Amino acid sequence: MKFSTRQDINAPVEFVFERATDFGSFERQAMRRGVEIERVDENDENCVGMQWSAKIPFRGKLRRVRAELTEYDAPHRLFFQSVSGGVEANMEVELLPLSRQRTRIRLGLTLLPRTLPARLLVQSLKFAKNNLDDKFAKRVISFGRDVEDRHAGKRNINT
C-alpha cells in the first residue's frame, strides 16, 4: 500500500532540509499525539544510522515501531525504514529546488505486510485509503506552511 504527496514550499532547499531534519521537533509533535518515542542510537548529529523506538496507540493497542534513517543525502533526500509487527514501512523524502527561493518536497510511504495478520491490517487500511491520503497530504501541507512561516520570520530578522 502506497501513499504519496508533494508540496511546493516558498523557501530555499537548504532551509527546507534543515526543517525536515529537525528530528527533535518531530519527536515532540509525536509525544503530543500520545506516542511514546525515544532515540536509541548514540549519534550526536543527523546521519545514517539514527534510530528510534516508539509505542504508537493504534486501534486500541500500543504498537511497537522501530525506525532507522538509512539514507541521508543533504539537502536532497532522506530514506527511513521501519518495522512494526509484521508490517515493514519505507518512507522517502525528496527535496527538489525549483528556484533559489522555492522547493518541492515529495513524500512517499510504502507499507509492506510480511505476515498474515499484517496483510489483514493493511487490507483493512485500504478501505480507508481516501481518508488516509487526505490526512497524509494535510500533514505535508501543514509542514510546508510552517516552513514558509519560519523562513519569512527569518528573512524579516535578517533585513
Residue 159 lies in a domain: no
Cis peptide before 75 (omega within 30 of 0): yes
Q: Is the dihedral of CA 25, 29, 30, 34 positive or negative?
A: positive
Residue 105's DSSP bridge partners are: 7, 95
Confidence of residue 129 (pLDDT cuts 50, 70, 90): very high
Q: What is the pLDDT of residues 49-85, one digit of tens each?
A: 999 999 998 878 889 999 999 999 999 999 999 999 8
| Overall domain count for the chain | 1
Confidence of residue 157 (pLDDT cuts 50, 70, 90): low
Residue 158 lies in a domain: no
- CA-to-CA distance for 135 and 122, rounded, in angstroms? 17
Helices (H) then strands (E): counts for the chain: 4, 7
Please give the residue range of the domain that contains residue 77: 2-153
User: Which of 108, 72, 106, 95 minimizes the C-alpha distance to 15?
Assistant: 95
Q: Is 102 helix (H, G, I), strand (E, B) or coil?
A: strand
The whole-number pLDDT of residue 155 equals 61
Over 60: is that where the pLDDT of 101 sits?
A: yes
The domain that holds 127 is classified in CATH as 3.30.530.20
Residue 121 lies in a domain: yes
Residue 79 lies in a domain: yes
